[in-house]
Amino acid sequence: MAELDRTKRHAPAPKDWTYAPAPESRDVVRIAERYGNFVGGEWVEASETYATISPSSEEPLATVAQGTEADVDAAVGAARDAFANGWSELSGSERAKYLFRIARILQERSREFAVLESLNGGKPIKESRDVDLPLAAAHFFYYAGWADKLEYAFPNRRPRPVGVAGQIIPWNFPLLMLAWKVAPALACGNTVVLKPAETTPLTALLFCDVLRQAELPAGVVNIVTGDGRTGAALVEHDGVDKIAFTGSTEVGKAIQRRLAGTGKRLTLELGGKAANIVFDDSALDQAVEGIVNGIYFNQGHVCCAGSRLFVQESIYEPLVEKLKRRLTTLRVGDPLDKNTDVGAINSAMQLEKISSLVQSGVDEGAEIYQPPCRLPEKGYWFAPTVFTNVAQSYRIAQEEIFGPVLSVLAFRTPDEAVEKANNTPYGLSAGVWTEKGSRILWMAQRMRAGVVWANTFNRFDPTSPFGGYKESGFGREGGLHGLEPYLRFDDGNES
Ligand code: NAI
Ligand code: MG
């Protein structure tokens, strides 16, 4: 005891609480030098290519295909063949077996996928490991469960697959968005041509390996990489029966115009500018955690990010004070370090967009706060940012920034909170923090948002439908609702 006491007295107090590096090993994943497109179960050499990089170091990771119209045509052809030659006729329980297999393989190989996701996209490993991968596997498990129960899901309506689905996904949750798209499409008996985002193709390409391991019949899932031109070729292709798109409102609108009158089905999941509303009776420390998770999770590259914080006037000062203090503890840096909270910005282009919107906030008169933090020299980085003194008319309160930037505004009454929250062209998500259950329900009924979180934020579950109002798009992904876009019904009602 005496010994122990002595040691304690002499133990030097740590000067600060910095963390030792805790890097995840890159060796768990093998990246090929060069990838083609995955068409009809085979790798097809690319005629045009580009290099995909790591946004945290700008180091090239692999050469990938810039898919051409001919590549898209071959992939759609393979998907049509697979649809006609067996897949659409398989029993639901047979299709489910493949989906269960894919889910299990994703779980088994999750470490490999998590490292690759963080390398190619810049998100912290603790997020790809604890959020993206478990959720991607959960989506396959969940939709595997529906595959043989479609008749029960839609009683008396005789559900049938739609055909070939063209799926275009963004770079913020590359593998998870793939799972959101591919799992329900296959569960319903469709085949797929998927185009990953140009900055993050690698986990989708590794996924082709999983498809082979699961012995999914050739052509059921085809993957063509490339930029918006490849996406446009997929949208235009006559052999595609349905387009599912997640990305910017601008491109979503263009796709909708393009498809008008063609009879092709369309679902759009677009941008957002979510309100996160904190009432004076809420648990403030818990709310601060939710605010941080709402806007700094995945560097704010989240369509449903809580980018507009509305604080009830009586608690405005203490809450902002707590929030700023919490920001000083966020660790920004190497995505592969297990202690990192905020990783790299996904691309030079996105960094440019964030920087210019933040500059507009300063120019328009908002007050900026950024905690002291040293950003790495190489790569694309942006410090967590809070704006106070924000007017609703400022661009930072109106436009989607898609970065780690929060605008704080105040309100006095619940009515005022609702009015301000709904004052946006978007309507994807919202958050309410209060101790009163009745107020949660009152708010949820009035807010024009597809998802309303109460005393939490950015919570996802495959059983829960997700999607927007207004310029955030239409159609739902997840849950029972997420099956409908991939089915036609013999009763004549499309959905
Ligand atoms: P984007 O909408 O251009 O890209 C999303 C996907 O669409 C990518 O796979 C891209 O290759 C493809 N694409 C681009 N042009 C296309 C076209 N004409 N036809 C078919 N596919 C096309 O989004 P971008 O440029 O990467 O980001 C711009 C802004 O969009 C971001 O700053 C953010 O505000 C928003 N965004 C929203 C997302 C969401 O989850 N709702 C995801 C990504 C971006
Ligand atoms: Mg774009």
Q: What is the pLDDT of residues 328-347, one digit of tens each?
A: 999 999 999 999 999 999 99
Which residues face 417 on adjacent strands? none
Residue 16 pLDDT level (bands cut at 50, 70, 90): low
Q: Does the pLDDT at position 414 exceed 70? A: yes
Phi and psi for 165 in degrees, rounded to 5? -100, 125
Sheet holding 221-223, edge to edge: 42-44, 37-39, 221-223, 191-195, 164-168, 242-246, 265-269, 473-474
Max CA pair span of the chain:
85
Q: Does the pLDDT at position 6 exceed 80? A: no
Calculate how far, in angstroms, residue 230's C-alpha sits from the geometric centre of ligand 2: 12
On whether the CB atoms of residues 137 and 460 are closer than 8 A, the answer is no
Residues in contact with ligand 1 by the CB-under-6-Å rule are 168-170, 172, 195, 197-198, 227-228, 231-232, 235, 246-248, 251, 254-255, 269-271, 303, 350, 353, 400, 402
Residue nearest (by alpha carbon) to ligand 1 atom 28: 248
Q: What is the 3-state secondary structure (H, E, C) of 36-87?
A: CEEECCEEECCCCEEEEECCCCCCEEEEEECCCHHHHHHHHHHHHHHHHCCH
Question: Rounded to two decimals, what is the model's pTM?
Answer: 0.95
**Amino acid at residue number 276:** N
Calculate how far, in angstroms, residue 248's C-alpha sits from the geometric centre of ligand 2: 7
Q: Does the pLDDT at position 133 exceed 70? A: yes
**Which of helix, strand or coil describes residue 269?**
strand
Residue nearest (by alpha carbon) to ligand 1 atom 36: 248
Radius of gyration of the CA atoms of the chain, in A: 23
Q: What is the pLDDT of residues 353-387, one digit of tens each?
A: 999 999 999 999 999 999 998 899 999 999 999 99
Nearest to 249 by CA among 421, 429, 470, 431: 470
- Which ligand is closest in space to the CA of residue 250? 1
Q: What is the mean pLDDT of residues 307-332?
A: 97
d(CA 65, CA 242): 24
Residue nearest (by alpha carbon) to ligand 1 atom 12: 228
Q: Which atom of ligand 1 is nearest to the CA of 269?
A: 41
Residue 495 pLDDT level (bands cut at 50, 70, 90): low
Q: What is the pLDDT of residue 213?
A: 98
Q: What is the mean pLDDT of residues 459-470?
A: 95
On whether the CB atoms of residues 150 and 177 are closer than 8 A, the answer is no
Per-position DSSP letters for 184-244, written without gaps between them: HHHHTT-EEEEE--TT--HHHHHHHHHHHHTTPPTTSEEE---SHHHHHHHHH-TT--EEE
Q: What is the mean pLDDT of residues 229-258?
A: 97
What is the overall mean pLDDT for the chain?
95
Q: What is the pLDDT of residues 189-238, one digit of tens each?
A: 999 999 999 999 999 999 999 999 999 999 999 999 999 999 999 999 99
Q: What is the pLDDT of residue 13?
A: 56
Q: Which residues belong to the active site?
A: 269, 303
Q: What is the mean pLDDT of residues 108-137?
A: 98
Residue 252 pLDDT level (bands cut at 50, 70, 90): very high
Q: What is the pLDDT of residue 18?
A: 75
d(CA 294, CA 124): 15
Q: What is the mean pLDDT of residues 306-319?
A: 98
Q: What is the pLDDT of residues 20-49, one digit of tens each?
A: 999 999 999 999 999 999 999 999 999 999
Q: What is the pLDDT of residue 479?
A: 96
Q: Which two tokens stand for residue 134?
A: 């478990």
- Which ligand is closest in space to the CA of residue 204? 1
DSSP state of 318: H
Q: What is the pLDDT of residues 468-478, one digit of tens each?
A: 999 999 999 99
The vertex-49 CA angle with 380 and 209, nearest 5°, equals 85
Calculate how far, in angstroms, residue 271's C-alpha sits from the geometric centre of ligand 1: 9
Q: Does the pLDDT at position 8 exceed 70? A: no
Residue nearest (by alpha carbon) to ligand 1 atom 5: 247
Calculate how far, in angstroms, residue 369's C-alpha sits from the geometric centre of ligand 2: 29
